[in-house]
Amino acid sequence: MTKSKRPTFIFDLDGVITKTETHHFEAWKETGAFLNYQITPENNEALKGVSRNDSLKKIISWSGKEVSSPVFDRLLKEKNDRYLASLSSLSEDDIMDGVHEFILEAKANNHQIVLYSSSKNAKMILTKLNIIALFDAIVDGNDVTNSKPHPEGFELAALLSNTVPQNCVVFEDSSSGILAANQIGMTTIGIGDAKSLSMASRIYENFKEISLNDF
């Protein structure tokens, strides 16, 4: 594998490119209600970057309940149906400030643009945001066995972009994503709260603070 001259940029989706955490939160709250458990914003932080399957396992564990395999599968489907319905009006207007401009400038300067999201709906969301064509490779929850903080998805992103991990820059808003990318030597950029992303190489509040010259 040859090392490209310019770093490959790997983006998370939820909380980095578009703000869909609220949609997830509202959809999971109904799941929690079924389990007689009230999901809090703190719970929602712990679900960032985690696959739908593993998120439900966490919620069930928090609730102290046990569910059968058929009920587990039903809860997964119902949550996803609620989430997708809430995204019906998603558009380019929902791209977070500064991200689109950064990606366009990076593309113009020959950086590869890759997505790694735990979401199995990532391609649909990118299509609704009208930016899917900007990505050289996409890795989502359908492509991995192990979700963040396991590095499998980032390893695949590096492989698909023919980039060594040390020449990849990851933009993440979740501690699980930062931990996953750190494990294989990628440069990690935390987007959001400095306290929860302290293990990142660098932290920015949003993309309006980031310049391509930083890399």
Which structure tokens are listed for 11? 């983006």
CA distance 173 to 118: 13
| Separation of first and last alpha carbons in the chain | 21
Residues assigned a catalytic role:
12, 14
User: At 117, is the secondary structure helix, strand, or coil?
Assistant: coil
Residue 191: in which H helix or E strand, if any?
strand 187-191
CA 155 centroid distance within chain: 15
CA distance 42 to 176: 15
CA distance 151 to 142: 15
Question: Phi, psi at residue 3, to the nearest 5°?
Answer: -90, 120
